[in-house]
Structure 1
Amino acid sequence: MNKLFKILIIGIFTFSTVQCAKETPLIQTASNTQQDLEKQKRDSIREDSIKRAQERIRFFTLVFPKNKKDSVMSAFLKKYPEEERYIILALNRLDNKNRWRADTLVIPEKIENDFLKYSPFPKRLDELEPVNKMVFFSYAIHAFAVYENGNLKKWGPSSLGKKATPTKTGLMFSNWKKEVAISTSNSEWILRWNFNIHNTLGIGWHQYDLPGFHASHSCLRMLEEDAKWMYSWADTWVLTNNGQTEQAKGTPVIIFGESDFKTKPWLKLSDDPAANDISVEEMNDTFVPHLDKILKEQENSEKIRRHAYLSLSKSDNGKRAV
């Protein structure tokens, strides 16, 4: 009996030891997998930074002396054709109407037709992949960026609220739009391709003067070409009860960063082509805290719009049948 008991004890001990030996690697494997994922993510961000640095276009500075401003501007207009001037002015946060404001311009050594090649925003944001459409406005570098499922679709210059009337920062959603709107601050200000993002505060993006500094009354100014493109691209809200109830939100928009309302950050590009670059980490810090809300609203919006589309299709089929 004692001998049998000893055999059972040894068997149980051996079985337990084997089980522990089998289970321990599973814990280590899970831990290693998580570590591997984190390492891959860090490596991907690092590779993106290196690649962006390698692709950076060099800049030089063109100064307009006060006593020779007209002659230097005349030479500038003769040297660069209209398409190239558009790019140069946009990089300096100016439109053609306000080119006279320039006292200094940063000019690319190589003019690229693809404006995305000048982007200070990351070309890819993996964490943003589940989001169909996303818009960012950076106060610090006077620029906006558009992403689709984590891929940079478009970017461009902007002019946000001046110091006396700053633009509200944080997460908002596009709602109503109007091709031609009249400013509530001044009836003489015509705002083309206006897309509202904060109904009670009257904040929206639209075409208006880009003077090379933050100058708006809290709205988000853009070049007309960009504002027109955004007008067609972004989604409006969905209302019910004769426009009294919001049923679904539009495209998510985040306004972030700070400005000292004095410096022009793009002028640093002649010394450092990556001076205005916003890192993947900074972009993640900007939107990841809002990601759950953005995805929840996106899911609701898709559901509401799908239902509205199906209802409209049934209605149209019914009319055809009659």
Structure 2
Amino acid sequence: MMRTAFAALLLCLASGAVAQSPGRLYDQEEIGELLYGVRQELAEIPEVGWNAYVLDHETGNSIFARADLYRAAGDGDQSLGKERLAMVQFLNRIYLNDLSIGDTLVLPTHLGLDPRAYAPFPRRYEGAAEFDKLFIIDKGVQAWAAYENGDLERWGLVNTGAIDSQTPAGRYNFNWKELDRISTLSPPGERWRMRWVFNFYHERGIHVHQYRMPIGEPASHGCVRLITDDAKWIYDWAEPWRTTAGTGARGLASANGRVLEQGTTVLVLGDGEEPVDGPPARFEWNGDKPSLRVVDLPAHPYEVPPGTDQQRTFDRKRRQAAATS
């Protein structure tokens, strides 16, 4: 069941084409189960195409049109089809019962594949081949990707900073991490609890962390929100910095020392285009034919401008080392 359910999640990655359900939150546990239920060798994952499905019925009745959709998704079994389609609502701010005549869904040509088949990131990033690990956040598609030696290892969803508190683009490194932290921006009388916190911009206190996530759109005060499974995975996968006060695994206390070795490189992409305000557009359309919007990565990660003095310092060290080698 889980093998077909994940691809069904992606039946409507195109935003704005269907009835919107604002103000609702991702069911993080359910998304985690569906995102990571299938694993294949990267080279064995087939290419996926996309087709538009327009809800219609000769009676003009939306209930009958949804029933036709469920039967199509369930190979004739309406109950199975509705189950397979359950997570469409969480990925694109739609709820199945909100769908009406004329709403457009985007269906993948293959179901039940490794989730990397549906990633809005290239499966191979040649420019990052020299990086053991590279972490990328793209504000345009509101998603993240983890690469190992240039191969896509995993990807997921994010909420970056809202329109009036955008997450700054640039090149960073993971610094210190803490399992549990209360946000310094918590208002009086409230405690905004962040879990599996991994900082990448120490001076401004910007991290990736688990938190509640409105469906599909930027929402934070500058940090990057993740679902629980992703926050846990990144916390264990990425490397923290090493300073004279210890490694970043010691938490904020490690910031009291001088940086000896940077952590995993982090790229925040998405400036140079209109700020995301509302659900991201993950598909491009040529007439009535949709295609997945794949993030255009820089030729090399170091082409992304440094975002902090830490990056500029280590850039100078790299240039000096290259000049003397």
Q: TM above 0.5, one fold?
A: yes
Larger radius of gyration: 1
Q: TM-score range by the shorter chain?
A: 0.5 to 0.7
Correspondences of 1:1-322 after superposition (within 5 Å): 55-60=47-52, 79=80, 85-86=86-87, 88=88, 91-92=91-92, 106-108=106-108, 110-186=110-186, 187-208=190-211, 209-241=213-245, 243=254, 244-245=256-257, 246-257=259-270, 258=273, 259-262=275-278, 264-266=280-282, 268=284, 271-278=288-295, 282-285=296-299, 287-289=301-303
Which moves more between the two structures, 98-107 or 192-201? 98-107
Higher RCO (Cα < 8 Å, 6 or more apart): 2
Q: How far did 1:55 drift?
A: 1.8
Q: Which moved more, 1:77-86 or 1:158-167?
A: 77-86
Superposed CA RMSD in Å reads 3.9
Q: CA deviation at 1:147?
A: 0.6
SS of aligned partner of 2:282: helix
Give the counterpart letter for 1:255 in structure 2: V
| C-alpha separation in 2, matches of 1:57 and 1:127 | 25
> 1:128: how far off?
1.3
**Mapped partners of 2:159, 2:106: distance in 1:** 18
Amino acid at match of 1:261: D
* Closer, same or farther: CA 276–91 of 1 in aligned 2, 3 Å: farther
| Letter of the 2:227 counterpart | L
Secondary structure of 2:203's aligned partner: coil
Contact preservation (8 Å) 1:210, 1:222: no
Note the residue ranges of structure 1 that are not aligned, 5 or more in a row. 1-50, 301-322
**Closer, same or farther in 2 for the Cα pair 1:118/1:134, shift >3 Å?**
same
Aligned residues of 1:101 and 1:211 also touching (Cα < 8 A): no
CA contact (8 A) 1:106 1:266 kept: no
Tell me the CA shift for residue 83 of structure 1: 7.7
1:122–1:272 Cα change, 3 Å:
farther
What percentage of aligned pairs have identical amino acids? 28
User: Quick check: which one's helix share is greater?
Assistant: 1
What residue ranges of structure 2 are gaps of 5+ in the alignment? 1-42, 56-61, 71-77, 247-253, 319-325
What is the letter of the counterpart of residue 237 of structure 2? W
Offset of residue 176 of structure 1:
1.1
- Cα distance, 1:207 vs structure 2: 1.6
Report the Cα distance in structure 1 between the residues aligned to 2:66 and 2:184, rounded to whole angstroms: 39
SS of the residue corresponding to residue 221 of structure 1 reads strand
| Separation of aligned partners in 1, 2:118 and 2:239 | 27
Cα separation, 2, equivalents of 1:275 and 1:290: 24
